[in-house]
Amino acid sequence: MLNQLVQDKINEQINNELYSSYSYLAMSSYCESQQFTGCAAWLRLQSQEEYTHAMRLYDFLIARGGRVILQPIKQPPAEFESLTHVFEQTLKQEQQVTAQIDSLYELAFEQKAFAALVELEWFIQEQVEEEKTAREIVHKFKLVGDDPPSLLDLDRELGERRPEAEEPAQ
């Protein structure tokens, strides 16, 4: 059984992951409005992935005899200056999530919530990957600048992303 402090913090992180999902969906809809359907598809998949992160913590809390308490999800930004700006925001968002996961890990460590530590290690690794991917995409947008043919190529490339294979049941 997890103590209340750890439970509250996991509930908070469920909300953070759901916000992240919501925010990526808002970015996706912005890209749709700009006719960059590849970027929109990439961001929609990312939104779905964030939802699975929230559900992973949701299932963990239940498995440990905790209580999931859902909180309101705040409204994400809807307007962006450019595609580069959108992806700069994705990097910033992932850096924030990394800080949130680190702080949750720190609490679980202090509270000797060992099962939570093991669960959170998956998230720590995931954040390394998320930040790396976001950084690479931002770099590409900066290289391309305002060149329309290159932007269209990059949009097409991002549109080729496929959903991650389902992870085997634990």
List contacts with Mg ion (CB under 5 A): 17, 50, 53
Angle formed by the axes of helices 83-110 and 37-63, nearest 10°: 10
What's the closest the beta carbon of residue 107 comes to Mg ion, in angstroms? 18
Cβ closest to Mg ion, residue 34 vs residue 95: 95
Q: Is 65 left (phi over 0), alpha (psi -120 to 50) or beta?
A: left
What's the closest the beta carbon of residue 2 comes to Mg ion, in angstroms? 20
Cβ closest to Mg ion, residue 60 vs residue 155: 60
Let me know how long the chain is: 170
Q: Cβ-closest residue to Mg ion?
A: 53
- What are the CA-CA distances from residue 16 to residues 54, 163, 170 (Å)? 8, 22, 24
What's the closest the beta carbon of residue 125 comes to Mg ion, in angstroms? 12
Instruction: Please say whether the dihedral angle defined by the alpha carbons of residues 18, 21, 24 and 30, taken in this order, is positive or negative.
Output: negative
Cβ closest to Mg ion, residue 18 vs residue 144: 18
Q: Is 21 left (phi over 0), alpha (psi -120 to 50) or beta?
A: alpha
- Contact by Cβ (8 Å): 25, 42: no
Structural tokens at position 9:
């913090």
What's the closest the beta carbon of residue 82 comes to Mg ion, in angstroms? 24
Cβ closest to Mg ion, residue 50 vs residue 119: 50
Neighbouring CB atoms inside 10 A of 144's CB total 18
Cβ closest to Mg ion, residue 17 vs residue 88: 17
What's the closest the beta carbon of residue 20 comes to Mg ion, in angstroms? 5
